[in-house]
Amino acid sequence: MTALWLTLIALLFIALLIIFLPLLLTHQKNALISDQQQQNVSIFKDRLAELASEQAQGTLEAADFLVLKTELEKALLVDVAEIEKPLFAPVVVNRGHWLLMGAVAFFVVLISLAMYVQLGRSEDFSKSLVLQEKVQQQALEDKKMREKLLKLVALLKEKLAQKPADLEKWHLLANSYAAIGQFTEAAQTYQAAMKAMGKTHPHYAVLNGSFAQMLFQAADEQMTPAVKQAMQETLAIDPMESSALLLKGIDAYTQGNVKQAIADWQKAKIRANDNLISQFIDPIINQAQSQLAQIPLPAKAAVANAKLVVQVSVANTLKEKLKPEQVVFVFARSVGGKMPLAIERLQVKDLPATVILDDSKAAMPTAVLSSVTTVEITARVSVSGQAREVTGDFFAIPAQVQVTNDGKAMLLINQQVP
Confidence of residue 76 (pLDDT cuts 50, 70, 90): low
| 85: pLDDT strictly greater than 90 | no
What pLDDT does 278 receive? 87
Rounded Cα distance between 365 and 332, Å, is 15
Confidence of residue 145 (pLDDT cuts 50, 70, 90): confident
What pLDDT does 217 receive? 92
How deeply is 300 buried, as exposed, middle or buried, from its count of CB atoms within 10 A (0-12, 13-18, 19+)? exposed
| 199: pLDDT strictly greater than 80 | yes
Each residue's pLDDT tens digit, 356-366: 888 888 867 66
Residue type, 103: A
Query: CB of 356 within 8 A of CB of 373?
Result: no
Same topology, domains 161-294 and 307-416? Answer is: no
Q: What burial letters (b/e) apply to 149-183, b meaning 16+ CB within 10 Å? A: beeebeebeeebeeeeebbebbbbbbebbbebebb
Four-CA torsion 31, 37, 39, 41, nearest 10 degrees: -150
Determine the topology of domain 161-294 in CATH: 1.25.40
| 24-38, 88-102, 178-192, 212-226: least confident range | 24-38
What pLDDT does 231 receive? 95
Best CA proximity match to 177, nearest among 213, 205, 140, 214: 214
Ranges 1-15, 112-126, 300-314, most confident:
300-314
What pLDDT does 89 receive? 46
| 115: pLDDT strictly greater than 80 | no
Contacts 24+ apart (CB under 8 A), 108-111: 108/12, 108/15, 108/16, 108/19, 109/12, 109/16
What pLDDT does 346 receive? 92
Confidence of residue 412 (pLDDT cuts 50, 70, 90): very high
The neighbour count for residue 185, using CB atoms within 10 Å, is 17
Q: Phi, psi at residue 374, to the nearest 5°? A: -135, 140
| 10: pLDDT strictly greater than 80 | no
Query: CB of 399 within 8 A of CB of 330?
Result: no
Each residue's pLDDT tens digit, 228-238: 999 999 999 99
| 122: pLDDT strictly greater than 70 | no
Four-CA torsion 122, 128, 133, 134, nearest 10 degrees: 130
Radius of gyration, alpha carbons of the chain:
44
Query: Mean pLDDT across the stretch 94-107?
Result: 74
The CATH class for the domain spanning 307-416 reads mainly beta
Residue 239 Cα to chain centre, angstroms: 43
Give me the sign of the Cα torsion angle 160, 165, 170, 171.
negative
Each residue's pLDDT tens digit, 12-50: 678 777 766 666 665 544 544 555 666 766 777 777 777
| 384: pLDDT strictly greater than 60 | yes
| Mean pLDDT, the chain, whole residue set | 81
Please state the domain extents for the chain: 2-119, 161-294, 307-416
What count of residues does the chain have?
Answer: 418
Query: CB of 151 within 8 A of CB of 176?
Result: no
